[in-house]
Chains A and B, each alone.
Chain A
């Protein structure tokens, strides 16, 4: 079975600073995908970034980058130059061949002015 662990229930960062949200995963599958989603207080789930298990380079999408360390089974999200609008819950998730997206418990990020 797949499992995602997010050990930081809450994180605080000042505007314009970078922040790293931790995610470790557990799977016995060789082929898998890792995702980060953002859930603002309005409730919608917003896809941020994807990393395939065979991708050699870390994924980047604008201010978001995924620090993929396969041997350590970690997939941390790095947000550069934080903005007030980045305040939200962030979920790490994994998918394998069975198409089941398994989510972690989330990290609440608060960006202060």
Chain B
């Protein structure tokens, strides 16, 4: 199995630009999660989907952040407009069933200048 795939691996952008992060979960996994990792706040859950439906987006920092899952094999996390404080590593993870282990992608390191 290829595991969770994320792209790009690194993204450097200027403040105000739109950023789109992409994720392909493990085939057959019904749950998809987006996390953010920073030195100050550690790992935080931003949003998760079950069967392509957003279930809990209470971790999304503000309206500049949006996430979609148009089908079972693809999800995006968009930041518009981006700000320097959005600089972090963004992880996507997937899980086969409720309450079980989540498998993480390699992460996208975002730098907003």
Contact = CB atoms under 8 A, between A and B. Distances in A.
A85 interface: no
How would you classify the secondary structure of chain B's contact residues: helix, strand, loop or mixed? strand
Interface size class, chain A? 20 to 34
Interface of B: 31, 33, 35, 42-43, 45, 48, 50, 55-56, 59, 89, 91, 93, 98-107, 109
Nearest to A32: B99
Contacts of A21: none
B31 A44 contact: no
A45 B99 contact: no
Of listed A32, A103, A105, residue having the most chain B CB within 10 A: A103
Contact of A100 (B45, B91, B103, B105): B45
Interface stretch (A11-19, A66-74, A75-83, A90-98): A90-98
Contacts of A105: 42
A52 B105 CA distance: 23
A91 B44 CA distance: 13
A44 B107 CA distance: 7
B56 A43 contact: no
A69 B17 CA distance: 49
Contacts of A32: 99
Nearest to B109: A43
A50 B101 contact: yes
A98 B45 CA distance: 12
B98 A91 contact: no
Contacts of B101: 35, 47, 50
B75 to A, nearest CB: 15
Nearest to B44: A103
Contact of A47 (B35, B98, B103): B103
Nearest to A47: B101
A103 B42 contact: yes
B42 A106 contact: yes
B99 A95 contact: yes
A96 B93 CA distance: 17
Nearest to A93: B43
